[in-house]
A and B are shown apart, each in its own frame.
Chain A
């Protein structure tokens, strides 16, 4: 069953005419002509749609926090700053079905009384940006954007904002800072963006995939959406399967789908029939799962949390037994050190020291006490000691790699070489 990718294979689906032929913008028409804003919010709340960017916050609830005060300017920021390693799903939606994203934004804007929305695309996604800009132009020409949308009193403008290469701008308050023309430093919450966000006005920040699911939910109803997925994680989600598997790619699956089936049935198993060593299930920030844990877990918010990891962005990275975990962790540690914005001491210093210690183990200079030192640093980076969650996100992979594959780290320290002889 496909919701987001229902028409992905249709030729020319990126154009307005084809999108409309396939039923596009009917949900918008229904919303503008038959529904009150609060009815839209209640349908989305009832559907159980949760944020698909990583945090999983219920979308309808987020919208309901926006004050109804008509004197306030409200904004919608569509987060397309997809930078979580292992994630490449929003890009497909923006490039190939841009109108589904726009329709979702227009519906959300109507629901929260917003008249100016922005799509924040990561800087590298130039194809996404041009696809969205073309689609916006088509919408203006056909009364789907601008003044008097579809002949109603509702008006909305959408602008595409090009990010400039900073992972932290995917964090909602970092994104807001970036849009405000200051460096992408996250802001303390509260106040939450719904109360004081962009330009200190009420702001909704939703992921591309979250918004793209909205038209289908409006058109088919909350109950239809809840037929897919699990009770607590309803609907479908895009999963990005990568690593040495036979069929890597982005797949839309009902939440609760077994990870094992994604890797072995859909993904065709590992290349060269390698043995599975581990899986990172939700982008580089997620706790790594051992093969044994991965083969038992289902892909939904609750199952992955119960397994000690997270659904995150849906970036599933498969690790074969030929991969040295010390080596792979050095890659992840480098990433977080590079992307820490430098605002909070535990994150700025912690990510730097973690990379240094892991590299010293990798380069045969490790000391016996380094493993405990790493775990000490990771525990000091977690649990709300920083403005945003990047410090936690940097600590989780390190902590889980070291705890679950401790013997590999110990081998490097003790024998001053790699147990697999791969570096």
Chain B
């Protein structure tokens, strides 16, 4: 097999052993680890994880495809999640989403050709009191306006 975990990731993988009484419980954490290592969960990565976990690849793909935060396709360096649930929608997040779509010239779910940004329409992110809420990689941004997002996005570079 041509891909494998780095030494650090392998150490993390092995350190999970005592956490769980059933080794299968490691699957979601291992998929996260694989995503960190390889960027996204390609068929090759699924097969690698399946080998590592001693599971059929189909079972691994079944789990990987169930969760929205596990990426089956390549994503940009920065993933922009715009919440469009109840409160954020009332606070104009859908207008914000179309603003970003226009600015980046992509639709929700797509990645810019330079692989810098992936844009996603998201469900409630748990930031309703400071709506509209967006999340870029692991950072939350609150009360976001079109002007504010222009300013934020100009800070994210290659």
Contacts and interface: CB of A to CB of B under 8 A. Distances in A.
A199 interface: yes
B66 A335 contact: no
Contacts of B70: 164-165
A387 interface: no
Contacts, number: 132
A47 to B, nearest CB: 28
Interface stretch (A5-13, A80-88, A223-231, A348-356): A80-88
Interface string A286-319: 0000000000000000000000000000010101
B57 to A, nearest CB: 14
A122 B123 CA distance: 13
A87 B126 contact: yes
Contacts of B85: 85-86, 284, 331, 335
Nearest to A280: B86
A315 B84 contact: no
Contacts of A159: 19
B128 A248 contact: yes
Interface in A125-183: 125-126, 159, 161-167, 178-183
A319 B70 CA distance: 34
B87 interface: yes
A233 interface: no
Interface stretch (B2-10, B101-109, B130-138, B145-153): B130-138
Contacts of B27: 181-182
A243 B93 CA distance: 12
Interface residues of B, number: 38
B114 interface: no
B124 interface: yes
A252 interface: no
Contact of A183 (B21, B32, B63, B135): B63
A280 B63 CA distance: 33
Contact of B69 (A85, A123, A199): A123
A105 interface: no
A163 B19 CA distance: 16
Interface in A246-276: 248-250
B115 interface: no
Contact of B131 (A73, A181, A184, A242): A242
B51 interface: no
Given A183-B63, A331-B86, A73 B21 contact: yes
A163 B29 CA distance: 9
A84 B63 CA distance: 22
A244 interface: yes
Contacts of A241: 129
Given A126-B138, A164-B32, A182-B24, 14 more contacts: A85-B124, A86-B87, A124-B69, A125-B126, A162-B29, A163-B69, A166-B67, A181-B22, A181-B26, A181-B63, A184-B67, A284-B124, A317-B90, A317-B128
5 contacts: A85-B85, A85-B124, A164-B28, A241-B129, A338-B123
Interface of A: 73, 82-88, 91, 116, 122-126, 159, 161-167, 178-184, 199, 240-244, 248-250, 280, 284, 315, 317, 319-320, 323, 327-328, 331-332, 335, 338-339, 341
Interface of B: 19, 21-22, 24-29, 31-32, 59, 62-63, 66-70, 81, 84-87, 89-91, 123-131, 135, 138
